[in-house]
Amino acid sequence: VLGASLACAYGTTVVACKDVTFMAKTVTAEEELKRANDMRSRMELMIMEAQAEFCKALELEEDGGKKFNVDKWKRAEGGGGVTCVLQDGKVFEKAGVNISVVTGNLPPAAVAQMRSRGKNLREGVELPFFAAGISAVIHPRNPYVPTIHFNYRYFEVKDGEKVDWWFGGGTDLTPYYLDEEDAVHFHGTLKAACDRHDTSYYKKFKKWCDKYFHIPHRGESRGIGGIFFDDLDTPGQEEAFKFVTDCANSVIPSYIPIVKKHKNKMYTDNERQWQLLRRGRYVEFNLIYDRGTKFGLHTPGARFESILMSLPLNARWEYMNVPYERSREGKLTEILKNPKDWV
């Protein structure tokens, strides 16, 4: 059903969809998006739809009846975004789903960072760029429901006449208590999406995810992983876009069944305290290591509220909290120290 309603808008021919209502007006004028058929426009429509579909799927689970708050914002340097946040709900303690479509000039330091990743760009100059992406972090209230994060983005950098483009993104899960069935379902859904495009993707992107969401000072992962990739420009733009679209469409089927399964479970205050401690680790990763957060906060004029919406409503730090090895908390910690293959 989801696939069907989305297909009309970001197929090869762009037709604005009647049956998908976006959370706000598009960043680029809708007439322009309808007229154009380039990757920038198609990506913008895709992320607007993915945002709307995901927010609506979450609202259906939010039994308190709370709805997303929608902020449409502009960026002085060019472009803007739509930030949707549902805060202090019954099921979702804090849920943020953000899209942004921005243009501007990359400072030489950012260009240098891309060169170090292998991009063939001129050194020491500002280069014009375009970026469109969707990013979401959902922190449920019940400690039995995991936190999910995903992010899919399209990037263009112009160097003289040449335009470099690539896609990046990923989806990953952070449980507080491990349900192996959930882990298999989540990874299985992502693997199926990968396999539809390239059977080598899942293995590679799962490993990349484990490596990326690692907290070196604690020697543990942020969660049980998922997929992560960057600089994807093969086999071609059309194929890469289709893959990223498929990944974005897989978020709902990978996550919503897990929410439904656990959201009404009873839990104790001890379990809640453990969840808050783990949320502290989430904050550590995001503020110290996450490239997106760092890049964002160090960009002058960035909308920091849309970057920091990823932080949990509440978090906790206890000195020297080491769970008993054989407890459920200890077993989760063991998995985080030694990432497992789930499918």
Q: Which of 87, 103, 105, 113 binds a copy of itself (CB under 8 A)?
A: 87
Segment contacting a copy of itself by CB under 8 A, of 6-14, 140-148, 238-246, 299-307: 299-307
287 scored as a contact of a copy of itself (CB under 8 A): yes
Could you give the CA distance from residue 31 to residue 40 in angstroms, rounded to a whole number?
14
**Residue 320 found at the interface with a copy of itself (CB under 8 A):** yes
Please give the Cα distance from 271 to 323 (Å, whole number): 12
User: What does the alpha-carbon distance between residue 174 and residue 282 come to, in Å, rounded to a whole number?
Assistant: 9
Given a contact cutoff of 8 angstroms between Cβ atoms, the answer to whether 156 and 127 are in contact is: no
Q: Residues 146 to 165: which contact a copy of itself by CB under 8 A?
A: none
**Which of 85, 97, 193, 227 is the binder for a copy of itself (CB under 8 A)?**
85
Question: Which position among 304, 330, 337, 341 is part of the footprint of a copy of itself (CB under 8 A)?
Answer: 304
* Strand pairing category for 79-87 and 162-174: unpaired
Residue 39's region, left for phi above 0, alpha for psi from -120 to 50, else beta, is alpha
Q: Which among 16-24, 43-51, 189-197, 286-294 is the span making contact with a copy of itself, rule CB under 8 A?
A: 286-294
**Stretch in the footprint of a copy of itself (CB under 8 A) among 126-134, 224-232, 252-260, 317-325:** 317-325
Q: Active-site residue among 149, 185, 187, 262?
A: 149
- For 147-164, letters b (16+ CB in 10 Å) and e give bbbbbbbbbbbbeeeeeb
Bridge partners, residue 169, by sequence: 152, 229
Q: Interface with a copy of itself includes 305 (CB under 8 A)? A: yes
Is the CB of residue 46 less than 8 Å from the CB of residue 153? no
Query: Is 298 assigned a catalytic role?
Result: no
Binding positions for a copy of itself, rule: CB under 8 A: 69, 71, 85, 87, 94, 96, 216-218, 276, 280, 283-284, 287-288, 294, 297, 302, 304-305, 307-309, 311-320
- As annotated, the active-site residues are 149
